Chains A and B, each alone.
Chain A
Amino acid sequence: MSQAHEAARDALLALQAEATPAQETPFVARLRAEARDAFAAQGLPTTRWEEWRYTSLARLVESRFALEGEDTATPSREEAESVAFPVFACGLFVFVNGQFAPSLSRPATAGGPVRVESLARVLTESPETLEPWLGQLASSKEHPFVALATSFLSDGAVVTVPRSADSQTPIHLVFLTTGDEPHLCQPRVLIRAERGSRALVIQDFVSISKQGGHLRNAVSEVFLEDDADLGLVTLQRGHPRSFLTTGLFARQERNSRFASHVVTLGGQLVRNELQVTLAGEGAECRLDGLFVAGDGEVIDNHTLVDHAVPHCTSAELYKGILDGDGKGVFRGRVVVRPDAQKTAADQSNPNLLLSDGAEIDTKPQLEIYADDVRCSHGSAIGRLDEDALFYLRARGLGEEEARRLLVSGFAAEVLRGLPDEALSSTLMEELRKRLGRREPGARA
């Protein structure tokens, strides 16, 4: 660890000591203390760590963060709604700098059978209901950022989809970052899809800060019981100068189905850790991702699919679009445990480099300890197809327009797969705007 890393760690530890816990429930106190020790022991990762070799925290360790939201006023409802993606007829739950803001939320309108509660409130009123779940999937020992988040554990969302409930309306969790002083904001999400239930949850990380510079460090734990069917969409539209680290940990029981979509449209440094454990036979997961990095941005997706039992299926598609001197990192690890026969695992990671300064480092990784399996991965890196460009130009499209069309087409494979149509078209539009931001003359 460099001196800068040590100093940054110590500053964060000091901050943690300052943040007085709101509750004194023994198991929460223990979780926090263990996490604090784990974070102190690990420190902030350097590029010498195999899992961080392509992602440098140099700029993050130079920053100092305040505790969340000291300088901020709660934004107005209009402000919140204008930045949140317009998913119509959903249950909207807004968290400002990590804290639940009931005044901005409209849980009653169309929440349906799904229960969404503020974590802080549950921790005060009935903490014992969380003990079997909280911190069970997200390991502080393995992930320093999870340790950091857990050591601060205070607020976030607890989503419960009751047994056999079939929620027609999506649950939209909006994590708003506001304020101009760089601060640390660590929302925690716990989702439980009970036996035979069905729901769609959207986690939306959005910033309305002018200055940026925040560190948002979110951890989500997702439990799918037998036959549950859960869609989870994670939207990340960071400020171009802020840091976002997330950990998403899911565990699937028998015959459950999990579909995760992670769409990242920028941020100075974004690191997503996604781990799915297929723990019950017949479970299926689909992990999709789209990341777009422009000038000065680094987007890093680390995924792990753990086939722990036989007869499970996983499919993964992560697409990267890198422009300017943007950098993308993808590590897709698939582990098939010794007894996990009849596993089918597919993974694909195509990437598009739009300019000469752009960079992609990708590492698809298969670790297979069972024999009766069918596993594959593929990765491709290239620029836009010249023939396709020519074809479009020949039909009268301008060069920029033709490029944008092709890039949108590349991204559409992921975006069209989103479980909500309104969301998918909004995101397509957002992407087109994002691509329009390219400086003219930046050529492949």
Chain B
Amino acid sequence: MSEAEPRTNQELHEIAGREYEYGFVTDIEMDLAEKGLSEDVVRLISSKKDEPEWLLEWRLKALRRFQQMLAEDTEPTWAQISYPKIDYQDMRYWAAPKQKPQLESLDEVDPELLRTYEKLGIPLEEQKRLSGVAVDAVFDSVSVATTYKAELEKKGIIFGSFSDAVRDHPELVRKYLGSVVPYSDNFFAALNSAVFSDGSFAYIPKGVRCPMELSTYFRINAQETGQFERTLIVAEEGSYVSYLEGCTAPMRDENQLHAAVVELVALDDAEIKYSTVQNWYPGDENGVGGIYNFVTKRGACRGKRSKISWTQVETGSAITWKYPSCILQGDDSVGEFYSVALTNKRQQADTGTKMIHIGKNTKSTIISKGISAGHGQQSYRGLVRMGPKAHGARNYSQCDSLLLGDQCGAHTFPYLEVKNASATVEHEATTSKIGEDQLFYCRQRGLSEEDAISMIVNGFCREVLRELPMEFAVEAQSLLGISLEGAVG
């Protein structure tokens, strides 16, 4: 260690002790359900949303499955994370802004809400006019403003809240809901399927290239409210869509559970690009508060030559449990996973992907970059499976970890299962700290230690960051900077 250590450590503590910048609470009236999970609550959610009978039935089936798993105590424990047992009866499963606005323009939106977005740095008006991004802002559980809908409609693209889709396009929702992630898929998916509140739905018709990035900003607001989003994106033959998901959350002391499900379906020659920047409240330096993020994300490349690409930058949450996956059914289909995960303070992340190769000549790429600082613990956990019929399938995986500080950990758990001799799988992983010589080189050229670290980390993550759409790439870079500054090893 260099002699500069004491000063460096001091800087580290100063910056590590920095308050969560986006921690504030919006004070608007909430419509809350009683605490606890029961058939009544599921029926209440369903009736509040005027859902058709089949959807209620589906929710109830999921509820029964979940209650069964709860009784059998099959909450997953294999991940490299630890957290106090969650009492699923001690939280609310429904919260919505009091009035569900039906608005055409932003003027009609509750000004309090708009101020929230401004604090978050999401100027809806600006984005609407300048960036060409349609924003479906989900405030807690119900969509309150959807922009650019009219323009998308001209192309035949359906994009809006999940509830609206259930109302306006029940046949589509019914056809695809649960077809990629069945309600019985896993513990958290079953919970989500029973009580999902809202989410986004996108449908891109045959041959249409979506002219803009579709984007949803999620925001958890009500205290003690789990958020159960459900997203479904269907790309018909030959279509293309890029979807952005980004999150920040206010500072809270009580842990908040988030169990989302995202399903993607790509038919022949279709391509879906799904990008996430996740910056929920990570908890304070003692690990108090912070979001529990248990997400099931899965895409099915059903069609020939289809492609699904996941890109994620995970800097928030106390616990991240997330494995965006691709099922490569169609011949020549392509799956990609680009991930940057950062853990600091007491954050724990167990994240990775599954690439299930079923069709011929399917290809997948996995690039995972993990950065661990403070007392952060993170794991890459991934599966690459080459089925017996996946002739000529290929996979390339690279998992690199960077360690900043001697209290953190970085772990790699790749599973490679190959049942076809013509398949090729390559996996590489490295773990190291930032080299003293790299730092010295930068310092010598007049960069502060923090800038140097930020620069090295951004370089380390470049392969992933360049996969992000412009708007996100900028946000992601500054996020990494904020989350890491001072975390010098």
Per-position binary interface string of chain A over residues 363-376, scored 1 when its CB falls under 8 Å from any chain B CB and 0 otherwise: 11111111111111
A26 at the interface (CB under 8 A from B): no
B430 at the interface (CB under 8 A from A): yes
Secondary structure call for the B interface: strand
A143 at the interface (CB under 8 A from B): no
Measured between beta carbons, the chain A residues less than 8 angstroms from B427 are: 364, 377-380
Distance to closest chain A CB from B352 (angstroms) = 12
Measured between beta carbons, the chain B residues less than 8 angstroms from A176 are: none
Which residue of A has the minimal Cβ distance to B407? A338
Measured between beta carbons, the chain B residues less than 8 angstroms from A364 are: 412, 414, 427, 429
B401 at the interface (CB under 8 A from A): yes
Which residue of A has the minimal Cβ distance to B389? A356
Distance to closest chain A CB from B427 (angstroms) = 4
Measured between beta carbons, the chain A residues less than 8 angstroms from B489 are: 371-372
Most buried by B among A366, A375, A378, A383: A366
Interface size on A, residues (CB 8 A): 36
Distance to closest chain B CB from A322 (angstroms) = 8
Q: How far is the CA of A375 from the CA of B370 in the complex (A)?
A: 14
Within 8 A of A (CB), among B376-426: 386, 388, 401, 403-426
Q: How far is the CA of A378 from the CA of B407 in the complex (A)?
A: 26
Q: How far is the CA of A440 from the CA of B413 in the complex (A)?
A: 38
A359 at the interface (CB under 8 A from B): yes
Measured between beta carbons, the chain B residues less than 8 angstroms from A366 are: 401, 410-412, 429, 431
A46 at the interface (CB under 8 A from B): no
Distance to closest chain A CB from B382 (angstroms) = 10
Measured between beta carbons, the chain A residues less than 8 angstroms from B386 are: 381
Q: Is the CB of B433 within 8 A of A359?
A: no
Most buried by A among B78, B404, B416: B416
Distance to closest chain A CB from B369 (angstroms) = 15
Q: How far is the CA of A353 from the CA of B388 in the complex (A)?
A: 12
Distance to closest chain A CB from B358 (angstroms) = 15
Measured between beta carbons, the chain A residues less than 8 angstroms from B417 are: 54, 359-361
Which residue of A has the minimal Cβ distance to B406? A371
Q: How far is the CA of A281 from the CA of B480 in the complex (A)?
A: 36
Q: Is the CB of B421 within 8 A of A376?
A: no
- CB < 8 Å neighbour of B408 from A358, A371, A377, A380: A371
Q: Is the CB of B414 within 8 A of A338?
A: no
Interface size class of B (residues with CB under 8 A): 35 or more
Q: Is the CB of A373 within 8 A of B433?
A: yes
Q: How far is the CA of A378 from the CA of B414 in the complex (A)?
A: 10
Q: How far is the CA of A211 from the CA of B112 in the complex (A)?
A: 82
Distance to closest chain A CB from B398 (angstroms) = 10
Q: Is the CB of A380 within 8 A of B414?
A: no
Distance to closest chain B CB from A91 (angstroms) = 41
Q: How far is the CA of A377 from the CA of B431 in the complex (A)?
A: 9
- CB < 8 Å neighbour of B425 from A354, A374, A382: A382
Q: Is the CB of B431 within 8 A of A376?
A: yes
B432 at the interface (CB under 8 A from A): yes
Which residue of B has the minimal Cβ distance to A347? B429
A355 at the interface (CB under 8 A from B): yes
Q: Is the CB of A381 within 8 A of B418?
A: yes
Distance to closest chain A CB from B436 (angstroms) = 9
Measured between beta carbons, the chain A residues less than 8 angstroms from B420 are: 353, 356
Q: Is the CB of A380 within 8 A of B425?
A: yes
- CB < 8 Å neighbour of A360 from B403, B418, B430: B418
Measured between beta carbons, the chain A residues less than 8 angstroms from B405 are: 371
- CB < 8 Å neighbour of A361 from B415, B424, B428, B433: B415
Distance to closest chain B CB from A355 (angstroms) = 6
Measured between beta carbons, the chain B residues less than 8 angstroms from A50 are: 78
Measured between beta carbons, the chain A residues less than 8 angstroms from B413 are: 363, 365
Which residue of B has the minimal Cβ distance to A444? B421
Measured between beta carbons, the chain A residues less than 8 angstroms from B431 are: 366, 368, 373-376
A97 at the interface (CB under 8 A from B): no
Which residue of B has the minimal Cβ distance to A379? B427
Most buried by B among A358, A359, A371: A371
Q: How far is the CA of A360 from the CA of B386 in the complex (A)?
A: 10
Which residue of A has the minimal Cβ distance to B402? A371
Within 8 A of A (CB), among B46-78: 78
Q: How far is the CA of A355 from the CA of B489 in the complex (A)?
A: 48
**Listed A/B pairs (30) with beta-carbon separation below 8 Å:** A353-B420, A354-B421, A358-B421, A359-B417, A361-B416, A362-B415, A364-B414, A364-B429, A366-B410, A366-B429, A366-B431, A367-B412, A368-B409, A371-B404, A371-B405, A372-B489, A375-B430, A376-B428, A377-B412, A377-B427, A377-B429, A378-B426, A378-B427, A379-B416, A379-B425, A380-B425, A380-B426, A381-B424, A381-B426, A383-B421
